[in-house]
A and B are shown apart, each in its own frame.
Chain A
Amino acid sequence: MFDTKSTMSERPLSPHLQIYRLPITAVLSITHRITGVILSAGLVLWAVFLMAVAAGEAQYASTQVVLDSTPGKLLLWAWIYALFFHLCHGIRHLVWDTVHGLERNTLNRDAYLEIGGSVLLTLMVFLFALLRS
């Protein structure tokens, strides 16, 4: 539609990402995307996990070694935290879709509530796992 060279050259630019300190709301927004991509990558591993269980005890043994190892557990809990972060921010998106919670003075407070909520939910599941095992 526009010839980019002739129309874009002399125009002032908006603050560039690299010299612009992102507000908490923007950090959470991009984190929502990043956690989404991380969770997607994790789904590949869950499919492999289910196939390993279906393949039989011998094939599952190597999967079990990974799951019981410290790096495996760290990865599992990082994935669970990403899941709860994505859940909490996703719920805010659903609320925003109803045109609520978009007031300027509550956005930052809600952002910290969201972080607190995701940490709390992860800790609760951790406690649940600790008590059950």
Chain B
Amino acid sequence: MNYQTPLGRARGLGSAGQGSHEWWRQRVTSVALIPLTFWFACSIALLPGLEYEAVLNWIAAPWNSVLLLFFIILTTYHTLLGLQVVIEDYIHTPWVKILSLVGIRLVFYFLGLAAVYATLRIVFAD
């Protein structure tokens, strides 16, 4: 039996009235992150034993800088959406849930900003 109204079904938004775009963005970011994950894993695997100059040069290399910035933005957003689902599934006390949802946003926006800023600073340092 279908309990949805025809209009509700056409909108396809579920009982919350929103959120389907988040499901979709989770998928879009994950597809984009598949190749980036291989690149990032191979890059960080080389980190142990690397000199400071080598790390700097690696981040400042044009393609690496762009890929790193793209990776930071996509990962931050993907992480935010993922943690949001975990919080929504396991935390049922309304005020704790809202605080957690706002909290992870502030924390990961801040971390993303810090990571982007650090990358740009390394890239544009003379």
Contact = CB atoms under 8 A, between A and B. Distances in A.
Given A51-B114, A97-B27, A33 B47 contact: no
A37 B100 CA distance: 14
Interface residues of A, number: 38
B52 A60 contact: yes
Interface of A: 33, 36-37, 39-40, 43-44, 46-47, 50-51, 53-54, 57, 60-61, 64, 67-68, 72-73, 76, 80, 83-84, 87, 90-91, 93-94, 97, 121, 125-126, 128-129, 132-133
Contacts of A84: 37, 41
B106 to A, nearest CB: 13
A50 B47 contact: no
Contacts of B44: 76, 80
Contacts of B40: 83
A105 B112 CA distance: 42
Contacts of A80: 41, 44-45
B105 to A, nearest CB: 13
